[in-house]
């Protein structure tokens, strides 16, 4: 058996060509494959409505779940949430990311790491000062929607002290016109905000990621503000995007591919930090 971590890279929607299917995360998959054995797939609805892989995650040989919540509310079922919870309790590691407003809101049904994600209609940011629109250009998207810059560019980030090992050597991440919102949930003593950024539109600070250290014997966890830090389009605008994205992109990374070096290091640091299951 390989000593490399086994990673399940999974979206919360069945394959749809004009959407964020797993094929749009191919560059991430290739980067993960440098340090891990990767299985990349879209959601499949079985006869009982459950995804057969997620529903059996707790009895699988995977070490890590990288869950890309790109749904509008029906991405993961109650049964799957139970399997993911048991997976983490047995030492499996879970990464969950989403996007603005209510995109990926189904993760609210996933306790712990799911509670770190704030949405518009469910589990809103506990600070009412943050329940305002930051991106004022795309007015159809309500809070949370922090503006970190155009797709195809990078934003400067700030590692929260003490600097988490995932942030070693990382000073930038891809930008996005409307990032989501995360925070350390109450009742999770091993969770803390580890990286922040600042809106390029309003100057307001916002959280990028929350780390769960797994001090209670469960697996580690990571909650990320937007999947646009990892999608092909934000790494290479020539890869294209779904037709519903209307904001003009930047050609900054296209002109200077070295701008992605920090992001690739971030990905490798993250998969290495989580590592193999603690019951291995």
Considering the domain boundaries, does residue 280 fall inside one?
Answer: no
Considering the domain boundaries, does residue 270 fall inside one?
Answer: yes
Residue 240 structural domain: 6-274
0.85 exceeded by pTM:
yes
Residue 76 is given by DSSP the state S
Counted domains in the chain: 1
- Residue 2 in 3-state DSSP? coil
Instruction: Specify burial of residue 189 (Cβ count, 10 A radius: 0-12, 13-18, 19+).
Output: exposed
- Residue 263 in 3-state DSSP? helix
Here the CATH number for the domain that contains residue 151 is 3.40.50.880
Identify which of 242, 234, 104 has the alpha carbon closest to the alpha carbon of residue 182.
104
Residue 93 tokens read as: 């590691």
Residue 61 is given by DSSP the state S
Model pLDDT, residue 1: 52
Tens of pLDDT, residue by residue over 209-263, are 999 999 888 999 999 999 999 999 999 999 999 999 989 999 999 999 999 999 9
Alpha carbons 159 and 168: distance in angstroms, whole number = 9
Model pLDDT, residue 185: 95
Identify which of 232, 237, 242 has the alpha carbon closest to the alpha carbon of residue 263.
232
Low pLDDT (below 50) residues in the chain: none
- Residue 111 in 3-state DSSP? coil
């Amino acid at each position: 058996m390989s000593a490399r971590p086994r990673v399940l890279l999974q979206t919360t929607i069945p394959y749809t060509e004009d959407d964020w299917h797993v094929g749009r995360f191919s560059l991430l998959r290739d980067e993960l494959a440098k340090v891990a054995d990767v299985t990349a797939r879209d959601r499949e609805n079985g006869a009982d409505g459950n995804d057969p892989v997620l529903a059996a995650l707790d009895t699988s040989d995977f070490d890590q779940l990288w869950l890309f919540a790109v749904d509008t509310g029906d991405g993961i079922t109650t049964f799957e949430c139970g399997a993911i919870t048991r997976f983490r309790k047995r030492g499996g590691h879970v990464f969950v990311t989403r996007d603005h407003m209510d995109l990926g809101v189904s993760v609210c049904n996933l306790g712990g790491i799911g509670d770190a994600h704030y949405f518009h209609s469910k589990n809103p940011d506990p600070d009412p000062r943050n329940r305002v629109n930051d991106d004022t250009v795309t007015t159809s998207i309500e809070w949370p929607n922090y503006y970190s810059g155009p797709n195809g560019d990078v934003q400067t980030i700030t590692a929260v002290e003490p600097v988490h090992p995932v942030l070693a050597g990382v000073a930038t991440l891809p930008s996005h016109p409307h990032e989501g919102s995360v925070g350390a949930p109450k009742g999770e003593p091993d969770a803390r905000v580890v990286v922040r950024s600042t809106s390029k539109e309003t100057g307001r600070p916002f959280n990028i990621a929350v780390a769960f250290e797994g001090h209670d014997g469960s697996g580690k966890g990571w909650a990320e503000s937007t999947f646009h830090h990892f999608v092909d389009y934000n790494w290479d605008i020539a890869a294209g995007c779904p037709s519903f994205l209307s904001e003009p992109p930047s050609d900054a990374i296209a002109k200077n591919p070295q701008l992605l070096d920090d992001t690739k290091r971030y990905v490798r640091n993250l998969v290495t930090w989580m590592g193999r299951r603690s019951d291995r």
